[in-house]
A = this chain, B = another copy of it.
Amino acid sequence: MRWRAVVAVELKPGVLDPQGEAVREALRRMGHDHVSDVRVGKRIQLLLEAAEEGEARARVRDICESLLVNPVLERYAFDIEPEGER
């Protein structure tokens, strides 16, 4: 069975985000001074095979912790659903 996982990776609170700061400053220059904070992270969509949801979740967790996420600086969360549900 095929699953679609969407992983959100973001910098931990307290970790400086120069890319987010650059976006915020660009927005300020464009007149968007109502924006007080910007944090830029990654959104990674995976299609994977697994017999059932528990196995799919375990695989995605393993992929996050072994490749996608730097646990010193980043944290992650993911949603998973059978492919084709939307």
Contacts and interface: CB of A to CB of B under 8 A. Distances in A.
> What's the dominant secondary structure at chain A's contact region?
strand
A67 interface: yes
A1 B68 CA distance: 35
Interface residues of A, number: 33
Nearest to A11: B45
Interface of A: 2, 8-10, 20, 23, 26-27, 30, 32, 34-50, 59, 62-63, 66-68
14 contacts: A23-B44, A27-B67, A30-B66, A34-B50, A35-B47, A35-B48, A36-B48, A37-B46, A38-B44, A40-B42, A40-B43, A41-B44, A42-B42, A43-B43
